[in-house]
Structure formats: structure tokens, C-alpha cells
Amino acid sequence: MFFTGIADEAADAIEGQIAAIRQIGWRWIELRNINGRNITDISDAEFEHAARSLEAAGLGVNAFASTIANWGKSILESPESSLAEARRAIPRMKRLGVRHVRIMSFGILRDRPPHDQLVDERVRRLRDIVSLFADEGLQALHENCANYGGMGWPFTLELVEKVPGLKLLFDTANPATTLDRTRSDRRPQSSWEFYKNARPHIAHVHIKDARFLGDDPGAVFEKADYCWPGEGEGDVRRIVSDLLATGYDGGLSIEPHLSVVYHDANTPEPNTDARFHSFIEYGRRLETIAGEAASATGK
């Protein structure tokens, strides 16, 4: 197991992201945005600058957190934008020696019930996306977020069953802050229950934590209060302990959402120094949680 982080939550520029990861003392970084644009959407010149900066710093990239088929993409729209994004990602992943790429299963159709979400079309598109990466020796990982698979663990396992080669990226806070659409009482999911059912298929983990504040029917995401790891309802300590006990050898990637919430344009612009240092503190707190779990399990 190793530590990594989505460092655009520490800084916009690649230099600041590298500085944050190095200050924690880690060797890996997960790339999402650089100067506000996803790693698949920046220009070739910007990408090459980032690649050379990472190489000069001696940092490896463990994953691309792409926006392919994410919560902002509708299953009712043409599939071409997601396929085009996948095609842009492939040469960049190869340039940096990255094997894993985060994908999703398109946004939830909120005017339709869970059983009427055009699942056959979602499966068909995911098969095309996963195959596109697999043909290049790369692995697509589905994240449980505000998408079809994130509506509850049965929906994620349905995708695993129907999409050959698909593996999972598990986010600890997302179940606890997302409605359980296997139920009718509009309550959030259990992170632990989701994790235990998904565990055999998990290849990467995002660590964030939060408390559910309430349903928000008109929004993509429910109301949540993001907090330090282990202090919310994401079962972070229990999940990290179980990952260690069951021989997990992938990454634990911090995505704090404390100073910057990627999907919330209304988040106030944070103090630059506070943003940077809260990211570092988050990483050190995760190290402490993992260390305590390792001592308890004898790993």
C-alpha cells in the first residue's frame, strides 16, 4: 500500500502540487486538474511542462482522475465526448507511465426512478470505454460518485458484472453523502456496507470524510460537511484497517475537500496558504490512521 493525493486541492499550478506532495514526503501524485482544467483537456505544451516538472521532482503518477462519463455527462447525450476524452488520455498516460484512469457511469437521470436509468446504454458505453483502455494495456476504474454506479453498491456490482475488465475506485465519503437509491426513505448509504460488498473489485481508494447534512433534490450532490479523515461518517479508520488486514497493495489517495470542493462552484476562494497546508495536514493525519491500523493488525 502507498500514499498519494489529488494535489489540485493543494494548488492550481503543477509546481504547487508537486511541492505539497514532496512536503508530506510521498513519492506518488494523482493528477486531476492543472490550472483549473483536467489533465486530459490541457494543451500539449501545458501537459509536457507538467510531465517534465514531475520527472525533475522524481514523482510518479499513480492515476489520472479524468472526467470521463462523470456526473456532469448525460447518458442522453452523444457518447463521442467521453470516447474522445479517453483517446486524449491514452497517450498522456503512456507518457507518464500511468496505468489507472478514473471513469464513472454518467449522471443520474433525476426525473426517473432507479430502475429506469437506461442501464443497457450505460453498459454499452462503458464496455467501449473500458475496452479502449484495455487494448492499450491500461485499466479503467469506476468511482462511486453521483453517477449510476454510485446510487448504491448493487448498482456498482451490476456494472462490474456486465462490463468485462472493469475494476473499482472506492471513495470512502461518497456513500455516506449520497442517497441510497435501493431505498425509498431518502437516507444516505453506509460507506462500510458499500466497501465490504465492493472490496473484491477495488484497485484504488480515495480517502475523504464527511457528515451528511441533508437531501438536496435540485442538486447533483447532497448537502455535506467535509472534515478531517476519521472524523466523519465515511468509516475511514475501519476501512483503512480492513484494507491492511486483507492485503490491499494499491494507493490511498487523499481528496480532502476541506478548502476546495471540486464539484462545487460556490465554494469560497480559499486562502492559498491555508489550502496548501490543510492538504499536507490531511496527508499526515491519514498516515497516522494507517500507522495505528498497521499496529493493531500487526502489518
Q: How do the domains of the chain map onto residue ranges? A: 14-297
CB-side exposure of 122: number of CA atoms within 13 Å?
Answer: 28
pLDDT of residue 124: 98
71-93: pLDDT as tens digits: 999 999 999 999 999 999 999 99
Q: CA angle 137-142-148, nearest 5°?
A: 145
Question: 112: exposed, middle or buried (C-beta count within 10 Å: 0-12, 13-18, 19+)?
Answer: exposed
Pairing verdict, β 167-171 and 209-214: unpaired
pLDDT of residue 185: 87
Q: With left for phi above 0 and alpha for psi between -120 and 50, is residue 35 left, alpha or beta?
A: left
Q: How many CB atoms lie within 10 A of CB 190?
A: 16
pLDDT of residue 63: 98
Give the phi and the psi of residue 41 in degrees, each rounded to 5.
-110, -15
pLDDT of residue 264: 47
Three-state DSSP class for 217?
Answer: coil
Cell triple for 72: 456532469
pLDDT of residue 90: 98
Q: CA angle 223-35-207, nearest 5°?
A: 45
Tell me which long-range contacts 49-58 makes (C-beta under 8 A, separation of at least 24): 49/14, 50/14, 51/95, 51/96, 53/14, 53/15, 53/18, 54/14, 54/18, 54/29, 54/96, 57/18, 57/22, 58/27
221-256: pLDDT as tens digits: 889 999 999 999 999 999 999 999 999 999 999 999
pLDDT string in tens for the chain (299-residue length): 999 999 999 999 999 999 999 999 999 999 999 999 999 999 999 999 999 999 999 999 999 999 999 999 999 999 999 999 999 999 999 999 999 999 999 999 999 999 999 999 999 999 999 999 999 999 999 999 999 999 999 999 999 999 999 999 999 999 999 999 998 888 999 999 999 999 999 999 999 999 999 887 778 788 999 999 999 999 999 999 999 999 999 999 999 999 655 444 455 455 789 999 999 999 999 999 999 999 987 76
190 alpha-carbon distance from chain centroid = 17
Q: CA angle 281-210-105, nearest 5°?
A: 110
With a CB cutoff of 8 Å and minimum separation 6, the contacts of 216 are: 222, 223
Give the phi and the psi of residue 183 in degrees, each rounded to 5.
-120, 165
User: Residues 77, 80, 85, 86: is their CA dihedral positive or negative?
Assistant: positive
Give the phi and the psi of residue 37 in degrees, each rounded to 5.
-125, 145
CATH code for the structural domain at 14-297: 3.20.20.150
